[in-house]
Chains A and B, each alone.
Chain A
Amino acid sequence: MAATTDHDESTGAPAQPVRRRPSRRRGRIAATVGFIGELLITMGLVLGLFVAYSLWWTNVLADRDASRRGDSIRNAWADEGPGELDTGKGIGFLHVPAMDEGEVLVTKGTGTKNLNAGVAGYYTKPFKSAMPWDAKGNFTLAAHRDGHGAKFHNIHQVHPGDAVVFETRDTWYVYKVFAELPQTSKFDVGVLKDVPEGSGRKKRGRYLTLTTCTPVYTSDYRYIVWAELERTEKVDADRTPPKELRHG
């Protein structure tokens, strides 16, 4: 706008009809370029907002949701004390001190809707997960690496020898990590088998498998961590955690 005004003033009134046409065309081009520029800026802002949404806002929502559900389970447990397992709202909490995420509620299923609620889900397909209290089998879990609670964000900090504790209403299941697979294909369902393929184990046992996506912020591959049950502890009246959870 300013440029056009300057131009008109400098050329004077008589020249206007002649000069006007190219300047108007240039104005239209400038307006078009400006419009495209504004669209590009808008797209950049929207993409930036999307990053904020996926990495921050979904965590806020999922954490709120999961802690509300976790609280309701804890309240139910507290009301009735240690006792029979109640699988209605969730089967228990996963504690991985090496991941530093606090407790992770574990519920049934690995569908998007379930996992987006900020929990870890146990597999129902392609292989049905064993439960920790089963005599033999593989307890298989999945959770998000980023967004939606990002419960397995720090899975790369978990190494062989680290403790993974699963807490149910009446029992602490203390697992010890024995193998990790930092990168595998998303079609590698063998990692979920009762004798997990690639873990190095040949016999059936009481295993725990954590799966999430890798590299961080993408889901090109899957990250797998395997642990084996070391011992179980009965939950006492104060829910005193096992020693693995007490230091740090």
Chain B
Amino acid sequence: MYGWIWRHLPGNVWVRAAISVVLVLAVVLVLFQYVFPWAEPLLPFGDVTVDNGAGAAR
């Protein structure tokens, strides 16, 4: 997978490395900005309230 991406990037080694870094940062940004905020409430790690099961914490 990563090998395939690497082979399909244009330019020489340095250009490819630079593009790779940008791609990795873009992926991290998407994860932090969109994926994790979406996933977090679905996981049972942050419920701090007591409620009668009606999901008051949600």
Q: Which residues of A contact B (CB under 8 A)?
A: 34-35, 38-39, 46, 49-50, 53-54, 57-58, 110-112, 115-116, 123, 125-126, 142-148, 152, 184-189, 191-192, 211-213, 217-220, 222, 224
Contact = CB atoms under 8 A, between A and B. Distances in A.
A111 B21 CA distance: 38
Contact of A219 (B46, B53, B56): B46
A49 B31 contact: yes
Contacts of B49: 110, 123, 142, 186, 211, 222
Contacts of A187: 50-53
- SS class of chain B's interface: helix, strand, loop or mixed? loop
A184 B53 CA distance: 14
B46 A189 contact: no
A34 B4 CA distance: 12
Nearest to B3: A34
A188 B50 contact: yes
A144 B48 contact: yes
Contact of B48 (A54, A126, A192, A219): A219
B36 A110 contact: no
A126 B55 CA distance: 10
A189 B57 contact: no
Contact of A146 (B36, B39, B45, B51): B45
Contacts of B56: 110-111, 125-126
Interface in B24-51: 28, 31-32, 36, 39-41, 44-51
Nearest to A120: B48
Interface residues of B, number: 24
Contacts of A220: 44
Given A50-B39, A111-B57, A126-B56, A144 B46 contact: yes
B32 A186 contact: no
Contacts of B53: 187
Contacts of A186: 47, 49-51
Given A35-B1, A112-B58, A212 B48 contact: yes
Nearest to A55: B45
A53 B32 contact: yes
Given A112-B41, A213-B48, A218-B44, 19 more contacts: A39-B1, A49-B31, A49-B32, A53-B31, A54-B40, A54-B46, A110-B49, A110-B57, A111-B58, A116-B46, A126-B56, A142-B49, A143-B48, A148-B46, A187-B50, A188-B50, A212-B48, A222-B50, A224-B50
Nearest to B24: A45
Contacts of A53: 31-32, 36, 40
In the A-B complex, the 10 residue pairs with the smallest Cβ-Cβ separation, listed nearest first, are A219-B47, A53-B36, A142-B49, A38-B1, A110-B49, A213-B48, A212-B48, A142-B48, A189-B50, A222-B50
